[in-house]
Structure 1
Amino acid sequence: MLITSPAMLLADMIARAPISTPLHEWLSQALEHSGLSQSALAERLDAAVPKKVDRSTINKMVLGKRAISAEELLHISEITGFEVPGEDPATNTISIAGKVGAGAQVPVFDAYTKGDGPQVECPPGLSPHGVVAVEVVGDSMEPVYSAGDLLFYTRETHDGVPEEVVGHRCVVEDVAGMGWVKQVKAGDEPGLFHLISLNPGANTMWNVRLKWAARVRLHWPAELAKKA
């Protein structure tokens, strides 16, 4: 019996959907939206698809000299955070995985099975594929993030703290299973990190060992969030 994965089903749906924007133009818009270079996109896409992809491949795609497959289209959307052409953003939703602490201690914030938790309408300009939302609890990140605000992030399947997220505001889980939103900085020893609070009156957490960290891709104030 042939087993079809959700990703394959989605890729097939995309391939059959009417697309108003030429794909090479969409790709240019996706690169501009994400700020990625053609080389950076090529490296990440090459790791996601079976066919070899390098910078020259991406350049041919941008110029319309090389077709973009449905599978490549899906992965490019996930990598760049740019909506797949032909989708209606109003029908897209993102799962709220749980709550994350900004000063408050929130254990195991990834409380829901993927897709099982409450849903929020996908903000404009953000692709829902591979994106999760969490709700802020506490005030240590004031005035940037307030209690009740939603933060959107994409977590890679593996644990760890990628070098490129250090120095940025991230959703993290420490080794004790507590979820936080903080600015992540390198700690005093390898494998340790300082979790910086933006509120001057809140405490910074020094030399914390993290299970994983994912950069915040989008912040949505509570009053703008439309829960489905």
Structure 2
Amino acid sequence: MKGKFPNGLAEAMAEAGVGFTELERLTRFTKQDIYKRAHQKARLTAEMAQELAPHLGTTSAKLLGLREVAAFTVPLGGRIGAGGAIDTSTAQDQPGVQYEIETAVQVQDAAIAYQVIGDSMLPIFEPDTVIICRAHTQDIRQHVGKRVAVGTTEHGRQLKIVHQGSKPDLFDLISLNQAYPTMRDVKVEWVARIAAIIPADEWKILEREAEVQTQMRERLKKPSARSNGSRKEEA
């Protein structure tokens, strides 16, 4: 790509057969805004690329001209709330199936991923964004004043700023969206540092059939081991 502000917008528009007028209708950007980026006269921001990408059948990474890397996977721990106290139980709860997040972004020390739900009032944490976290820790005080993923008994998993509560073992959880009240004196079970933030169009869920693997291991046991187990049950 050549130009003062190189990007892949013009190429993506040509491949998709989508013009400036249609993109203006489909998005919140004017034809002039899009024209400047397509002709590399202005910088294409990540936020703009993320909104344009779905209408062009591509990803924001490709529009931004980011180098593609091998797929990276990390276990999916379920959902995490970005607003008030809501149900953060995972929607991927089929018995015997494990889930992973696949993304092109390599994250060092990644331990677990969470799918964001709720309105944080920050585009960076819009619904269906995925946050990739480092390992859980119970050393809560070391993360006071920081924006982290937290696990609680009463409110489930939350994306909050942690402050000290009225007692040493209690903490106030401040929402990123000021419309939601602060959760006062919450018992926090763990916190996890955020290592990466992945836009909604830059990841996909992979299913791993754990139950099938267990069955395969059972079949590989020696016949004597399986029959002994059966005799014990009969006895």
Which residue does the alignment assign to 1:150? 130
Which of these residues, 143, 146, 150, is aligned with residue 172 of structure 1?
Answer: 150
Which of these residues, 195, 220, 225, is aligned with residue 173 of structure 2?
Answer: 195
2:81 maps to a residue whose letter is G
Which residue does the alignment assign to 2:34? none
Which residue does the alignment assign to 2:46? none
The structure with more radius of gyration: 2
Identity of aligned pairs, percent? 29
Q: Distance in 2 between matches of 1:207 and 1:161?
A: 17
1:39-78 paired onto structure 2 within 5 Å: none
* 1:180–1:111 CA distance, 2 compared to 1 (3 A): farther
Instruction: Give the drift of 1:193.
Output: 0.9
Which structure 2 residue ranges, 5 or more long, are not aligned? Answer: 1-67, 207-235
SS in 1 for 2:200: coil
Which structure 1 residue ranges, 5 or more long, are not aligned? Answer: 1-87
1:139 maps to a residue whose letter is D
Describe the superposition over 1:49-99 as per-residue Cα deviations: whole angstroms up to 9, x where unpaired.
xxxxxxxxxxxxxxxxxxxxxxxxxxxxxxxxxxxxxxx951431122111
Q: Indicate yes or no: 2:120 matched with 1:120.
A: no
How many aligned positions are there?
A: 137
Which of these residues, 99, 105, 109, is aligned with residue 86 of structure 2?
Answer: 105
How large is the Cα RMSD of the aligned pairs?
3.0
Describe the superposition over 1:132-158 as per-residue Cα deviations: whole angstroms up to 9, x where unpaired.
1100111135344111110111224xx
Instruction: Give the drift of 1:223.
Output: 2.2
Instruction: Give the drift of 1:104.
Output: 4.7
Q: Distance in 2 between matches of 1:188 and 1:143?
A: 32
* 1:223–1:122 CA distance, 2 compared to 1 (3 A): closer
1:126-141 paired onto structure 2 within 5 Å: 126-127=107-108, 130-140=110-120
TM-score normalised by the chain length of structure 1: 0.51
**Greater shift after overlay, 100-109 or 185-194?**
100-109
TM-score normalised by the chain length of structure 2: 0.50
Q: Distance in 2 between matches of 1:130 and 1:221?
A: 17
Instruction: Give the drift of 1:175.
Output: 2.6
